[in-house]
Structure 1
Amino acid sequence: MDRRLILNANVYSTTIKNFQAQVSDLTSATYSSRITNAGEIKTKGVEANLMARPMAGLSITAGLAYTHARYADFNGVQCYFGQPKIAQGGPCSAPPANPNSLDGFFNAKGLSIAGVPDWVYGVSAVYDRPLTPDLRGFVQANWNWQSDVNYAISGDPGAIQKAYGLLGGRVGVSAPDKAWSLALYASNLLDKRYAAQITPSPVTGLNPGGYAQYFSPDSVRRVGVSLDVAF
């Protein structure tokens, strides 16, 4: 198409042995974490990206990734609060002190790798044109989305961040050679709240079955002015 379209794609499959993972330790009254050996993980998927110039001044970029990331062998993962024990038809190996106790361990084989969403995609469009011989104007919009993600190795349903998308954009002016640019920008324009991490309650003895969520500055709407200079 007269070099107005570029499409790249790849398919991959990877196996990693003796993967080092950080796990929650709920055996004490206060929350702690430690590094342990996950044995083996397997990831496979598809990635693709697109760059297009459908008309003068308009550029579009897009990316898509599907990642099937699973633990192939991860023995000794601690059960989450309320997870069924073997006597209840669940995977936990230790007999429960009570149905909601924190004791018990299991093999996380087949569960999703913590913090990895199955689907991610993003698209960005930029349109710029000359306003005067010494000034160019531009407008940009971008959208990024990801599917559900579980932050717990154990697959704890309380540690799931639901799918979300973020909208952002910029509008401004620049020098013809882009030596400088001045723009009004907005990130997370829809003010979407999302957790960057979810963990069991730091004080499990006082709040058994509770969780703590951690939010980043990107999880709130931000509007500002940016000045970029190249030298």
Structure 2
Amino acid sequence: MENGKLNGKVAIVTGSSRGIGRAIAERLGQDGAKVVVTYVGNQDKAEEVVSAIKANGSDAVAIKVDMRQVADVRNLFQKTIAQFGQIDILVNNAAGKNIFQPTAELSEEEYNSMFDITRGVYFSLQEASHHMANGGRIVNMSSSATAMAYPTGGAYAGCKAAIEQFSVCLAKELGVKGIVVNMVSPGLTATDGLVLEQQEVEQMVAQTPLGRLRQPDDIASAVAMLVSDDAHWVTGQNLRATGGMV
């Protein structure tokens, strides 16, 4: 790890009170960024992340944000500027419940619960377009499901595929400002949101060339690479952090 490579930068990481989001927030803090940690329902967990970042020598703040509410999304950017004066990095990690249901059975409520977050991602990108400093970094979290046709995964993969299209189009819009926009698509990762049976997990690990279940820190490393200065010439790309599983 190259400590200090993000010194002077301000990062927003949505959905960062636990799991992959927490690992990303803590990694960016370790690399020197001031970090805005967002949560929707668990302030205590978010404050734990803030404390961990501060313990490593950087600054952080927790802000409650419901990504389904556009007003909340806009308020997040205003509060970040009021707190830290700028926005250099945005990681759109927040996600709702990942629902896998046959197309014939998915309810309207279940469909909306996923696509409402996708709408929030779009408007966070709109806010970034208004407020992000030139030379900024945007990383949108997608999923390996967009490259694999999982039965029962149509709506879930669809909401992530929309985010991928937001990303590639925005990369072309913001290039003139030196802002790069990329995606990270994790594979199956060991978080508390993992709902597969152990046998299913073992089968997927067996198909992974690197031979183990991915950890949140693996994904955080991929994000850290894309928000670093080294990624200044990488934009509109989807980094499939899957351990080689395609």
TM-score normalized by the length of structure 1: 0.28
Name the structure with the higher helix share: 2
Q: Quick one: higher RCO (CA 8 Å, sep 6+), 1 or 2?
A: 2
TM-score normalized by the length of structure 2: 0.27
Higher Rg: 1
